[in-house]
Amino acid sequence: MKLTLSIIIPCYNEKNTILKILEKIKDVRLIGIEKEIIIIDDFSIDGTREILTSLHDYNIIFNDKNYGKGFSIREGLKHASGEIIIIQDADLEYNPQNYKDLVQPILENNVQVVYGSRVIGPNSTIHSHYSFYLGGLFLTRLTNVLYHSKLTDQPTCYKVFKKSILDAIELKENRFGFCSEVTSKLLSKNIEPYEVPIDYFPRNKSDGKKISWKDGIRAIYIILKYRIMSV
C-alpha cells in the first residue's frame, strides 16, 4: 500500500518561479510514495493567479484576499489527504530533491517531525542576507534556551510532519509566525523535530523575499508566549 505525501505550497506573487518549482517537484522520485500537490494562492496580484488558473493537474486553492503564509498552510491542510505533510515555498530557495532525506526518518525511524536544516546542510556556508541569517540564528537560539531543545534551524521552510501530529495542534498564526508557533507547540508537547541537512539557495528582497523585521518581532513574541503558557 502506497503512502501519500501532501506537498503544501503557499504562494504569493511568484509568477517567475511557480512553474519552475512545480517542475522540480514533478521530477522527484519517491519509491512507494505518491505526491499530492496543494497550492494555495494568497491573492497574488502579479499574474501568478492567472498562471495557476491554467493548470489542471494540481489541487489549487485561491484565497479571497491576502491573509499570509500561516493562513494559507491551514487552508492547505484542510485539503490534504496524505499521511505525511511537507511545507514547500513557491520560490527556488529549497530543493525538492531533498524530499527523500526528509521523509526517510519518518518512514524508517518512527520519527514524527523532521526539519530540514540549512545550517548543517552541504551549502551551510551560503547564507541569506546578513540580517535574515542573524535573525534565524537568534530565533533558533531563543527557542533552544526557552524550550531546552537542540535545534539548529528553527525558521526553515522544510518542515515535515505526520499528519496526525498536525491534526492535534491548533494553529492560529496567519503570517510567517507559523514556524515559531508550530515549533513552540511541538516542543511544549515534548516533540523535538529531527533534523536532516538540506540544500539552500537564498534570495534577497530584490528577488522577491517577503519576510520583514516585523515578522521577526512577531516570532519572538510567539516563542515567549507559548513558553509562558506551557509552564
Contact between 113 and 164 (Cβ < 8 Å): no
Task: State pLDDT tens for residues 81-117.
Answer: 999 999 999 999 999 999 999 999 999 988 999 999 9
pLDDT over 80 (residue 129): no
Give the residue from 138, 162, 164, 161 showing the smallest Cα distance to 151.
Answer: 138
- Fill in the amino acid letter for 77: L
Write down the pLDDT at residue 213.
73
Pairing mode of beta strands 194-197, 84-87: unpaired
Q: What percent of the chain has pLDDT over 70?
A: 90
CA distance 109 to 107: 6
Greater confidence (55 vs 1) lies with 55
Average pLDDT over the chain reads 91
CA distance 230 to 147: 10
- Fill in the amino acid letter for 176: F
CA distance 62 to 64: 6
**Residues whose CB is less than 8 angstroms from the CB of residue 223 and which lie 6 or more positions away in sequence, other chains included:** 139, 142, 143, 146, 180, 184
Domains delineated in the chain: 3-230 (3.90.550.10)
The three grid cell numbers given for residue 12, joined into one nine-digit string: 504569493
Predicted TM-score (pTM) of this structure: 0.92
SS3 state at 194: strand
